[in-house]
Chains A and B, each alone.
Chain A
Amino acid sequence: MKKDAMTPLERAAALAAGGEVDRLPVNPNIANGVARIYGCKISEFNTDPKAQAEAQVAAYRKFGYDSVRIFTDLFPWAEAMGAEVVKPDDDTADLARPAVGDVKDIDRLVPADPYKGGRLAVQLEAMDRLVDRVGGEVPCSGSLAGPFTNAFFLYGVNEALRLFKKNPDAMRKLCRVSLETCKAYAAATIAKGLGVTISEPMSSCTVVSPATFREYSLPCLKELVDFIKGKGKVPVIHICGDTTEIWDDIADLGVGGFSVDNVVDLKKCCRAIGGRTKMLGNVDPSTVMYAGTPADVRRKTLECILAAYDSPKGYVVMSGCSLPVESPQENVAAMMDAVRDVGYPVKPGKVEGMLRELGAGD
């Protein structure tokens, strides 16, 4: 794998100032796969802040991508509010039992205190170590499950889906208390000196209608984004699945960037809202990054660059979602090298030439 001439922070600063850089920023979004690179079990992240931070550092040192984040799965916030989570020995955690099983118990939910033990406290400690180790060269962030998404985990996904019809007020209450937890965690993250990224998969048009999104999720997101901005950071948001119908809503939130799923037409998305927010995306994490070859990764990375390199507010090459844990490391390296080979400023003719060299593929 090739070397870079600048650190990610130098690159980000130069790009922001409209200056010269060596290449586009890139984030393969390795997620819990960092455990494989560092050589620990994924379950160690649940209790060991050192393992969590050092695994991020190890993966960053290996590949040199442009941002590192503390994030293991979508469930620590619901867990801190009373949900139960399955924690496999060496795989990503999952929701076992929601925090409440009955509508009448919703009023008993209280926002989580992230400093008060559990996995949230482990994550906050990991943030200290991460900033200490690499904060001087690469942007560090803490990720959180957005208010709407976390609301589903408080009540159980299937049951919460029924509330829109049966008890909309209950769903609103779940979103509110969820929002308070998000704010507390975001404040703690910012106090540690990190940026914030929001994962909001349940807001996707693959799950709920744009109308449902606007009624329940958007007001909470707006409040959260404003809260974070009030503390001096501009969050990046990721929504899985199709989001075409809600692009304008997301741009109107005034987020620092929008990370899109691979099902989204990246070029169309850039044209629609690229003038209002930075675009990140969207190499397919499963078909290409997990199941593909390095040549597939190179081709798809180049195609994404062609689609989005001139997006007015900037573009970061990224996977469409967190990578499967067993994604081959050579595929991550292939994404990095494709971006390095393209260089900066991006010359579309050159990228097209690189694509032709690769041939049509299979």
Chain B
Amino acid sequence: MPSAPPSAPVVTDEPDGPPTLVLPRVTLPGPAVPPPPVPPSPAPSTSNSPAALRSEGHDENEGGGAQAGLGGVMVAAIGIAVAALRGMTQWTEDRRQRFQDQAPVRLAAAKAKAERIKDRAEHEAALAAIGNDAAKARAKSRIQSPTEFGGDATKNKGGGGKGGKGAGTFGEGGSGGSGRGPKSGPDKSKGGKSGRETASHGSTGAGGKPGPGGKGKGSDKGPKGADGAGGSGGKSPKSGKSPSPPSSSPSLERARGRQERAADKQRAKDQRRADRVAAQLEDRGKDRKRHHGSQDDRQAVKDRIRNGRLEAKEARKDAARDARRQERADRKAKRKEEKAARDRTALAQSVGQAVTEETERRLRARRDALDPPVLSRNRKDTPAEDAESGPKVDLKKKPRAPKGSSTAPPKATSPKPPPGPETEAEPPGQETGGPGSGPGSRSRRNREQQPPPRQEPQADGEWLRPPPGMRVEYSVTIDRPDREAQAQARARAKAEEELRRRANLANVFNPAPGLPPGPTTRSEAPPAAPAPPPSSTPSSTSSPAPKNERKAPIPMPGGPLAHPAPPPSSVGDTQFTDSDLTVYDVIDADQDMAEEIMAGAEHALLVADRCQRLQAALEGLRASLIAKSVPGVFVGWCTRLIERAGVVEDKAVAVARGLPRASEAIAHAGAVAAEHDKPVADVVRDMGHTAPADTSYHQE
């Protein structure tokens, strides 16, 4: 029986678990003839003493040497081995079954709870009537569960279904397993597999495995499986697979009946429990979601409750915090306002409340108005430092002087003194004199401000040049009208001032362009002229009222509002200007435009270059098409496309050539304009006038 030894080790290998079985087998090959010595570690000593082997009880098959006895011994050994195997597998299966049987219970309980909670919350939150409906539904569900086995499967989901399956598999295993138990090893292994297969079908397959166990243990487990199935099914039996197995045997029907009964009981219990829980959790549990994990459900519910509480707390805290912050912010704002008010009042006391009040009023009004920030600063300063209004004017003049052409700077310096004297002289001389000085200064400022816009555009143009083709540049040109409009407004103001000045001052001894006010002051008060800065301070101390007048005009120059204020001045520097367009505008615009257009020419050249390359590429394509003998229209299209590329290139070149021409043309136009009209404009500017008189005034 050489075949026997190999078979035995095979069987022994399967059990894995019991080491005791393996050891005896190892001993077998030793005594046996050469063929069987498959196991590499035979022990000769053991082979010599069969009795010892027998004492162990397993190895008699070969150790005895009696072939007749071999078969029986073999069977016995195998039976023992199988029993041990079964014990192992059953033990593990028991564990699994227990776990799985319990799992559906847990699952069902948790789900029932969650569902109840949710339903309850929804119902009660919505309407009490719906709550009644829920009660009805509960009652119905109790009734339905016994009659319709799987009726509630939809509600209770997987848990119940698993239970039902488990029951079914158990029924099969119990019937078939008893027969198989005594059979040979391979059959048993099959039985075990079949049990597993059934188990795989039903998630709680444990019920089916006791079946293969067949013998004593199998019977033991049968009831267990039934209990487990009953427990699980009680929660929510499923119709799916359970019906098919029961049809095979009446015992299954009995089992089913049991299960149903148990299911009813358990359901009732679960529902009661769930109702209780739901009643407790009604308030919190509306929005909570359910997880499908069996054990997790309970914890999830708890967690949700906790989270809900925490969130509520946090929300409350946040609200409180926000409220506090707002309160603080409000308090701070109030304090600031109070402080500011105090500061203002202090200033007012120091300087004279009437003055400050007026200034404040104007300040607020102007702040509300649209004036630019710089002006607003000046105004702010003015209330604090009344006397400094004069110096500020000077500061503005200084920057402006350099801006003027080469002739401007010296003159600009000279004009500074006159405004100071004006301020001093004016108050004593005439009421109009005070404001007049203001307007004069304004006019200078205005001129200063006017030129910068012109120069700024140039600067912009330069900055924008690097990205020549960009449209940004074009926007620059668009800006101009605005500037011109501003210039016009200022020019008008200047013109008015100029008028007044001229009217007041017939006697003009003009040393410098910006000086027209100067002479007037000198005529009235020659001594005051020398020291402009000191004059400002004394004036401030001497008479607050006139200061106010002056201050008012000073802030105004920025905006059009300023114009009405100046009139009172004594020998105002009257300037009339209302021009939509000036020579400078034209020259600047032409220059910018020429530059922009020149920049565009480069792009045209680029396009032309690319077109040339495209042409070359297309020619290459056509050559390769011809080389590959591609029939049809493609080659013809290539020829056409090559021509087109040439045309595009030509046009790009034309554009590239035309753009410089356009640039030249506009530059030339600017040059012509400069040639014809700029000299006069320069003289007017150098003389400190905003614009010359009407043409008729110069006719002789």
Task: Say if A and B assemble together.
Answer: no
